[in-house]
Amino acid sequence: MATYDPKFPRTHYDNLVDDEWTRLTRTRHGELSFLVHMDVLRTYIKESMSVLEIGAGAGIFTKELVHMCNRLVVGDISKAQLDANRANMGDLGVLNCVGEYRELDLADLSSLHPVSFDAIVCVGGPLNYLMEKESVGIQQMLRTLKSGGVVILGVMSLINSVVRLMRFLPALKRNRGMANTRWLLETGLQDQEHSPDTEHFCHMMTSIDADALLDLDSVEIVEKRAAGLLGMAGEEELNAVKADQDLWNLVVERELAWSKLPGAIDLGDNILYVVRKR
């Protein structure tokens, strides 16, 4: 597997501050994904909890979590994202509700005290960037989590990505060749060797990949969800549905219900796991 270099996700997200703040609000596809994430967060995050949000970005979920838990520590590998998060929480009048901001690399959480959080929220795909250190990232989170605590983990889905970006496959084959195209579809890996023309080095996953990482005696997988399942319909189609509020409410209802179906897990843009530490 490709070698993890933290400068790549740091640089990538330093350059995406505005995009991250509106990522789940500027499209109906994003809205559906957001609603599934929120359904999971409301189920497992309680008022008494001390929560670590890692890969928090500009604050898409920070602005919600501050109202849901007792103490919130916000972390990200990108200082630019953390600065934007602070600014956004200030604009919303909730900055004083954030307990602490920390510049954190998921592959090394040694600066955090062990067994200090009741829940960890790591959604949007920070784990996808760790390459050969994916298992290290899991262990780092479990190290900081109290016994009985939960990790809400989101990974970028390979299958959903391929479906949505299918139109780019002919150009991918022309530019990189069939062997590299097969590599991407079989492994989900965009690395320096096979994808030298991108800065977005990551490992898009299937649920089989995530299941293997979480096949540990120290954890119990409580729930799996597909976030953004119906987004594959396309934005034009979703906007047409959104024009009829009753119809949109029905689609949202089905998104939430179908996101729990075992056969749907890999079809969301993010695969969500709720994992409890034994």
Q: Where are the alpha helices (DSSP H) in the chain?
A: 7-14, 17-22, 28-44, 62-65, 79-92, 134-144, 158-164, 169-176, 178-187, 207-213, 235-242, 245-258
CATH class of 7-156+204-277: alpha beta
Three-class DSSP category at 4: coil
What's the rounded mean pLDDT across residues 210-232? Answer: 97
Low-confidence winner among 23-27, 70-74, 237-241 (lowest mean pLDDT): 23-27
Q: What is the pLDDT of residue 193?
A: 84
Q: What is the b/e burial string over 11-44, where b = at least 16 CB atoms within 10 angstroms of the residue's CB?
A: ebbeebbeebbebbeebbbbbbbbbbbbbbbeeb
Give me the DSSP letters along 31-89: HHHHHHHHHHHHHH--TT-EEEEES-TTSTTHHHHTTTSSEEEEEES-HHHHHHHHHHH
What's the rounded mean pLDDT across residues 249-264? Answer: 98
Question: Would you say residue 173 has pLDDT above 60?
Answer: yes
State phi, psi for 275 to the nearest 5 degrees. -120, 130
Continuous segment of H or E residues that includes residue 156: strand 145-156
What's the rounded mean pLDDT across residues 101-110? Answer: 98
Convert the pLDDT of each residue in 110-134 to its tens digit: 999 999 999 999 999 999 999 999 9
Average pLDDT, the chain: 95
Question: Would you say residue 172 has pLDDT above 70?
Answer: yes
End-to-end Cα, the chain, rounded Å: 29
CA 63 to chain centre: 16
State pTM to two decimals. 0.95
Q: Do residues 178 and 61 make contact, with C-beta atoms less than 8 angstroms apart?
A: no
Q: What is the pLDDT of residue 1?
A: 57
The two three-digit tokens of residue 205, written as one number: 């996953």
Q: What is the pLDDT of residue 121?
A: 98
Q: Do residues 120 and 152 make contact, with C-beta atoms less than 8 angstroms apart?
A: yes
Domain extent listing, the chain: 7-156+204-277
The two three-digit tokens of residue 5, written as one number: 């270099």
pLDDT tier at 20 (50, 70, 90 boundaries)?
confident
